[in-house]
Amino acid sequence: MPPEDRRALGLLLLLGLLPLLSLMLALGLGSVALTPGEVFAALFGRSSPLAISLVWELRLPRALSAFATGALLSVAGTLMQVLVRNPLADPYVLGISGGAAVAALLALLAGLGGVWLTGSAFGGALLAMLLVFGLAHRNGDWSPTRLLLTGVVLASGWGALIGFLLVVSPAQRLHGMLFWLMGDLAYAGPPLPALLVMVLGLLLCWPLARDLNLLQRGELQAGALGVDTRRLQRRLYLLASLLTATAVVQAGSIGFVGLVVPHLVRLLGLTDHRLLLPGAALAGGGLLLLADTLARTLLAPQQLPVGIITALLGIPLFLHLLQRGARTT
């Protein structure tokens, strides 16, 4: 195996350690702190009932939700960036989360919760996706610029609607709405559906990874080297939308992860999508898990929206790597 491949595989393995370490922290930290030994004991049911229920019923589901959400957003971000060939794209820039947020706020305003809230957010995301798809798709021509602009314009439209809904909402609902808008895992549903979508999404997009390597160099180059670009772009759009919708439903709209994690992983040196996609899933999941653990422990018992922490953690890390990259190339 050539040295650069060995290095890339090593990096991927290192990225695999990040979620594991984050998981140990997430399961151990909280109002009752557990040592790694106690966490393992609780995981295998050889501990006090309190510790077992703390780990199994409270911390593990939330940790898995955080991991799944981070991985979903990062993979969706990677796909979106290739789709519009623009490093500034992320799952939210195309307005998908905006649609989900408006629908979710409407549900909250109507006093609905649980399945209704989830279903409503998912429906909103799909509606937003169809709007962008329908409006940007004209004469069979589907330029990345038009896709990006349509998404950006619609996203600001959703933003205006969100502002309107917040203004007309009664004060006692505002707090919940704001938390939802900033992204929060405290009220996340069971993690299994999101985990399943994450694994399924990764399995569906991984076989397309070499095509993505080509598409990132433009439709012309990809087409000339044998990629059916129209079909590929349609698939990417559907996959990215589905992943984003699932993430939004799980944890509200958490910004920043989908934009920054793909770049972080690229800057680390994983530029081939066959490694970048799993790398982004691991890094995004691990980072969000870490951020969520900090969000619920830093100012305990006060809980912070996790979006604040992802930004505070991610921005310096990203800028550092960007600076380092600028020096070595």
Q: Which residues bind other proteins (CB under 8 A)?
A: 2, 4, 81-82, 85-87, 207, 210, 213-214, 216-218, 220-221, 223-228, 266-267, 271-272, 274, 325, 329
**CB-nearer residue toward other proteins: 159 or 223:** 223
Instruction: Single out the residue of 289, 281, 244 nearest to residue 89, CA to CA.
Output: 244
Least CB distance to other proteins at residue 274 (A):
8
Q: How far, in Å, CA of 299 to CA of 120, rounded?
A: 32
Q: Name 249's Cβ contacts closer than 8 Å, sequence gap at least 6.
A: 100, 118, 121, 122, 125, 189, 194
**CB-nearer residue toward other proteins: 126 or 152:** 152
Least CB distance to other proteins at residue 74 (A):
15
**CB-nearer residue toward other proteins: 213 or 310:** 213
Instruction: Single out the residue of 101, 70, 81 nearest to residue 163, CA to CA.
Output: 101
> Any bridge partners for residue 141, and if so which?
138
**CB-nearer residue toward other proteins: 46 or 320:** 320
Q: How far, in Å, CA of 222 to CA of 218, rounded?
A: 6
Contact 255, 311 (CB under 8 A): yes
**CB-nearer residue toward other proteins: 98 or 262:** 262
Q: Give the H/E segment covering residue 173.
A: helix 171-182
**CB-nearer residue toward other proteins: 1 or 115:** 1
Least CB distance to other proteins at residue 133 (A):
22
Least CB distance to other proteins at residue 214 (A):
6
Instruction: With H, G, I as helix, E, B as strand and everything else as coil, classify residue 138.
Output: strand
**CB-nearer residue toward other proteins: 2 or 301:** 2
> Any bridge partners for residue 322, and if so which?
none
Max CA distance (Å), the chain: 65
Least CB distance to other proteins at residue 198 (A):
22
Least CB distance to other proteins at residue 145 (A):
12
Least CB distance to other proteins at residue 222 (A):
9
Helix extents (H) in 169-228: 171-182, 192-205, 209-215, 219-224
Instruction: Single out the residue of 76, 110, 66 nearest to residue 292, CA to CA.
Output: 66
**CB-nearer residue toward other proteins: 49 or 140:** 140
DSSP-derived secondary structure for 229-257:
HHHHHHHHHHHHHHHHHHHHHHHS---SH
**CB-nearer residue toward other proteins: 93 or 188:** 93
Least CB distance to other proteins at residue 78 (A):
10
User: For residue 11, what are the CA distances in angstroms to 19, 182, 314, 321?
Assistant: 14, 31, 19, 15
Least CB distance to other proteins at residue 72 (A):
21
The residue type of 320 is H
Q: How far, in Å, CA of 304 to CA of 23, rounded?
A: 19
